[in-house]
Amino acid sequence: MFPTADAEEISQVTSLNRNLSPSRDVCDSPGHSQTAKPNNNRELTLNMLIKEVVFCIALALTTYGALHNTPTKISKHPQAVKFFGPHSLVTDWYRGQLSSALVFVNNADVSFVMYYAPWDAESQYVRDEFDKAATVLSHRVHFSAINCWNPGSECRLQHNKIPSWPILMVYTINSRGVLYKGPRDAHSMVKFLELITRPLERVSSTEDLVNLLSICDAVAVGYTPLSDTSKYYSVWYQVALKSREFDVMGEICFAVVTSEDLAADLGVETVPSARLMLWNDTKEYKVGGESQQGWNESSLIPWILDNFTQPVSRIMPMWRKAFSFERFIDGNPMLMLFTPLNPLHQQIPSYDLLREIAMEYNNCKNNETSQWTMELMKLQQVQRLLYEQKDFDKFCQDYKFKPPLRKRSKYYKRAVVSQNNKYPWSNTTHKNQKSGLFNFLVKRGLIISKLMENSEDNSELLASLGLLQECSTRELPAEKSFYENQEQCQSYEESFDFEQDVKRYWGDSETSMLPFEDDPLGSENLIQDSVKHFCKLMMFAKEWGPTAIPEKVDSNNLTKIHGLACASNFSLNMIAVDSVQNYHFAESLGIDISNRKDRTAVVILDPKHESQYVLSGPYSAKTLRQFIANFTNKSLKRSLRTHVEDAAHTHYFGSEGKTEQMGINESSIQILELTTRTFKRVVRTPGKVTIVAVCGGACDAHTS
C-alpha cells in the first residue's frame, strides 16, 4: 500500500496556509512595492555579472584551445623517384636539383633539357621519345631531365608558373636557350638537334650556294666578313639558332659568306648584309640607310619570317589542329599531299616533285622572276633525280674503315692545285676529300676517277667531263641553264664503280703528316666519325617508314601547267601533310592511307562547290600534272564517299550504324557520318526527327 498522511500532518499544513495568507495583502500594499524595486535591481546586476563571468570563461577557453590546437593532419607528397629507367642515357634530376643540372649543361657544347612533371600524361609520353633520341645523339648532345614539380625543390621554387608540361629546351655553350616547339617524337627531336649543332653552312664558292638552292625551300645568306671583327658573324649565328624555334624542320637553310671577295663577286656592295633567296624572288636586308635597320636578332628574325614564302607548305598539326589549316582556308581550293615526311632525310622526293610542279603552276610568264624560277625548278629536278638513285643502306652496309693515306697520286696533287680557291679560309685538302667519299655521301655522288685513269690526255678528259659538269650541281655555275640531260646524267652515274674508286683513292695516296690513328680529332677520324653518324641516322630513319619515290615517266609526255594559276580566277593552295603521324586526316576524308602505295595520296578540296577530288592511279609527275590541269578545266569527276571506311584507328563516326566497334553498345549515343550511301535512309525515316550537323571550311580539322 502507498503511504498516506495522517490527520495531524494535514492539519499542520492547513494552519500554515492560513497564517501565510495575510502576507499576500501586505505585498499588495504601496509601501511594500517600493521596497521590492531595490531587490529587482540587485537581481539584474547579479544576472549581468553572471553573464560576464560566463563570457570571460568562454573566451578564456577559446583562447586556450587556439593556443594549444594540434596542427591539421595533411598527407605528405610522395617522395620523388626516378622518372627515367636505370639504363637510360638521360641524366634524371628527379629531385629538382636545378643548380646541379646547370653545371652539367654549362660544361657541354649542346644540351637538351626536359622540364617535366611526373604525373603529367604528356610528360610520360614524351619520356619514351626523349629517351629514344638520347640513344641516337648521346655521343654529341647531353640529355638531361629535371623534375620541376617536386614541392620544395629548387626547380619548383624558381619556375613555379610553368603553364604546361613538358618544356623542352636546347642550350649551347655560347648562346641562350632555344625552345623546342615541334612535334614531340624522337625523329623530329633528332632533326632539330642536328640543325642546332650545325646552324650555318659556310659558302666558299658560287657552287656551294647553288647546291643549297637545289635542296632547300629558301636560303638565308649572311655576308659577314671576318677581316675586321667577328661580331657581325656572331649575330648571324645567333639568328640562325633562334630561328629554329619557328622553323623546327629546317625549311630555311642558313648560310654565311665570310670572304669579302666572294661577297663582291655575288654583287654585295655593303657588309654586313643578308639575303633571303626564295623560289620566286630575292629579298635583301641592308643595315642603315633609309630603312634604318640594325644588325641584331630583334630585327633580322622578324624580317626573315615575314618574307619567307614557299610554293608548298608543310603542315605539322599538333595541338589546336584547326588553326594549322586556317591560313589556307581562304575560299580557294586546296591541294593536300599525304606522304611520309621523314624529318631525317635530306630530301623527300615525293614532296620535292610537288614543289617543282607548284613552282611551274605559279610561275606566271609576265613575271620578272619567271626565268629565275624556271632555272631553279630545273636545278631542283636534277637534284631530286640524283637523290632518288642513291642507296644509302647499301653504302652503310658495305662501308669499311680505310687505312690512313700512304701514297699521294699525281691526280691527288693535281686536284689540290686545280681546286685551290682564291678566297681565304678555304681548306683545299678538306675540299678534295669531299670530292671523293664525303662528296658522295653528302652531295650527289658523281665519281670521275674512272675517267681520269682511262684518259691519257687532259684535253680528252675535259671533253669527257663536259656533260658531267652539267650533271653535278657541285660544279654548276648559277648563271648557266643546262638541266635538260637527266637521262644521260643517270646513265653516266650508273656506269661508275664507286667502291673501286674509293679503294684507289685511299690506297694510292700518301701524306707527310704524322700517323693519326690515335688522334680522335684527326681529319681522317673526323670523316669516318661523320660517316658513322650519318649511317646511324639513316638506320634510325628507317623506323619512320620507307621513302616514297614517284614513278618514273617519260619527260616528253607531260601536261603543261606553266603559269596556270594566272590563267584562272582561282589558285590552288598546296600543302603537304605527313601520312605517318597524321593519317587520321586522310581517314576523315575517306582515304585509307595504309592501303596506298608508299602511304601517298593527293586530294583537292573545293569549298566553293563543297566537293573533293582524289587522285587515282600512281603518284608521278604525269598524273599529278594531269590532275591539276583537269581540275582547272573543270573536267574532274568529284569523288563520292559512297564506300568510305570507318575511322578504325582514331575516332568513330559509324557510317553503317553498327555498334560493336570501340565499346559502343545500344545505350550509347551515336553520331552517324552521313554519306551518299546512308543519307536517304537516315534522313527520310518516317516518324523520326533527324538532326544533321553540317560543317564546312576546316570541318575535318575540327572533328579530328
For residues 292 and 319, membership in a common domain is answered with no
For residues 306 and 320, membership in a common domain is answered with no
How many other C-beta atoms lie within 10 A of the C-beta of residue 661?
Answer: 12
* pLDDT tens for each residue of 199-218: 999 999 999 999 999 999 99
Confidence class for position 12, pLDDT limits 50, 70, 90: very low
Task: Read off the pLDDT of each residue in 24-28 and give the average, rounded to a whole number.
Answer: 44
For residues 138 and 60, membership in a common domain is answered with no
Strands across the sheet with 142-147, in order? 91-93, 142-147, 110-116, 167-172, 178-179
For residues 222 and 296, membership in a common domain is answered with yes
- Does residue 300 register a pLDDT over 90? yes
Tell me if 506 is assigned to some domain: yes
User: For residue 172, what are the β-bridge partners?
Assistant: 110
Tell me what pLDDT residue 402 has: 57
Give the span between the Cα atoms of 252 and 300, in whole angstroms. 14
653, 654, 655, 657 alpha-carbon torsion, rounded to 10°: -140
Phi-psi bin for 288: left (phi > 0), alpha (psi -120 to 50), beta?
left
Residue finishing a domain among 489, 514, 539:
514
Confidence class for position 345, pLDDT limits 50, 70, 90: very high
For residues 253 and 340, membership in a common domain is answered with no
Tell me what pLDDT residue 704 has: 37
Residue that the C-alpha cell 632555272 belongs to: 375
Sign of CA dihedral 539, 549, 565, 382: positive
For residues 303 and 319, membership in a common domain is answered with no
Confidence class for position 69, pLDDT limits 50, 70, 90: low
Phi, then psi, of 399 in degrees rounded to 5? -70, 135
> Helix 186-197 to helix 121-137 angle, to the nearest 10 degrees?
50
Give the span between the Cα atoms of 344 and 212, in whole angstroms. 17
Contact 704, 585 (CB under 8 A): yes
- Tell me what the pLDDT averaged over the chain comes to: 76
Tell me if 649 is assigned to some domain: no
684 burial (CB, 10 Å; 0-12 / 13-18 / 19+) is exposed
Tell me if 639 is assigned to some domain: no
Distances (CA, A) of 444 to 265, 387, 463, 475: 26, 7, 21, 11
Tell me what pLDDT residue 663 has: 54
Lowest-confidence region among 366-375, 448-457, 655-664, 680-689: 448-457
Confidence class for position 238, pLDDT limits 50, 70, 90: very high
- Whether omega for the bond prior to residue 163 falls within 30 degrees of 0, making it cis, is no
* pLDDT tens for each residue of 426-437: 343 333 333 333
Distances (CA, A) of 198 to 172, 252, 258: 11, 13, 16
State how many domains the chain has.
5
Task: Read off the pLDDT of each residue in 653-680 and give the average, rounded to a whole number.
Answer: 62
Q: Which residues contact 175 (CB under 8 A, 6 or more apart)?
A: 237, 238, 241
Tell me if 241 is assigned to some domain: yes
Our CA angle for 392, 476, 460, nearest 5°, is: 95
* pLDDT tens for each residue of 104-163: 999 999 999 999 999 999 999 999 999 999 999 999 999 999 999 988 899 999 988 888
Look up residue 39 and give its three cell numbers.
531587490
- Which amino acid is located at 526 in the chain? L
SS3 label, residue 698: coil
Tell me what pLDDT residue 48 has: 85
Confidence class for position 702, pLDDT limits 50, 70, 90: very low
Tell me if 251 is assigned to some domain: yes
* pLDDT tens for each residue of 594-618: 889 999 999 999 888 888 999 988 9
Contact 146, 98 (CB under 8 A): yes
Task: Read off the pLDDT of each residue in 23-28 and give the average, rounded to a whole number.
Answer: 44
Q: Give me the DSSP letters along 490-535.
A: HHHHHT--HHHHHHHHHHS-B-SSPP-TT-TTSHHHHHHHHHHHHH
Q: Which residues contact 580 (CB under 8 A, 6 or more apart)?
A: 340, 341, 544, 545, 599
Give the span between the Cα atoms of 661 and 145, in whole angstroms. 40
Tell me if 49 is assigned to some domain: yes
- Does residue 16 register a pLDDT over 50? no
Confidence class for position 372, pLDDT limits 50, 70, 90: confident
- Does residue 180 register a pLDDT over 60? yes
For residues 489 and 576, membership in a common domain is answered with no
Residue that the C-alpha cell 559509324 belongs to: 654
Give the span between the Cα atoms of 78 and 523, in whole angstroms. 52
Contact 371, 575 (CB under 8 A): no
Q: Which residues contact 585 (CB under 8 A, 6 or more apart)?
A: 317, 336, 338, 577, 700, 701, 704
For residues 422 and 509, membership in a common domain is answered with yes
Contact 527, 438 (CB under 8 A): yes
SS3 label, residue 292: coil
Lowest-confidence region among 240-254, 324-338, 395-409, 630-644: 395-409
For residues 304 and 327, membership in a common domain is answered with no
Tell me what pLDDT residue 36 has: 59
The residue segments making up the domain with residue 29 are: 7-67
Tell me if 188 is assigned to some domain: no
Q: Give me the DSSP letters along 592-635.
A: -GGGSGGG-EEEEEETTTTEEEE--S--BHHHHHHHHHHHHTT-
Tell me what pLDDT residue 403 has: 52
How many other C-beta atoms lie within 10 A of the C-beta of residue 201?
Answer: 17
Tell me if 535 is assigned to some domain: no
For residues 409 and 501, membership in a common domain is answered with yes
Tell me what pLDDT residue 203 has: 94
CATH number for the domain harbouring residue 101 = 3.40.30.10
Look up residue 245 and give its three cell numbers.
624555334
Q: How many residues does the chain have?
A: 704
Sign of CA dihedral 39, 44, 45, 47: positive
For residues 482 and 419, membership in a common domain is answered with yes
Tell me what pLDDT residue 463 has: 42
Tell me what pLDDT residue 687 has: 82
Tell me what pLDDT residue 332 has: 85
* pLDDT tens for each residue of 479-494: 333 444 544 555 544 5
How many other C-beta atoms lie within 10 A of the C-beta of residue 657?
Answer: 10
For residues 433 and 468, membership in a common domain is answered with yes
Task: Read off the pLDDT of each residue in 30-34 and give the average, rounded to a whole number.
Answer: 50
* pLDDT tens for each residue of 399-423: 775 554 443 433 333 333 333 333 4
Give the span between the Cα atoms of 370 and 247, in whole angstroms. 27
Confidence class for position 667, pLDDT limits 50, 70, 90: low
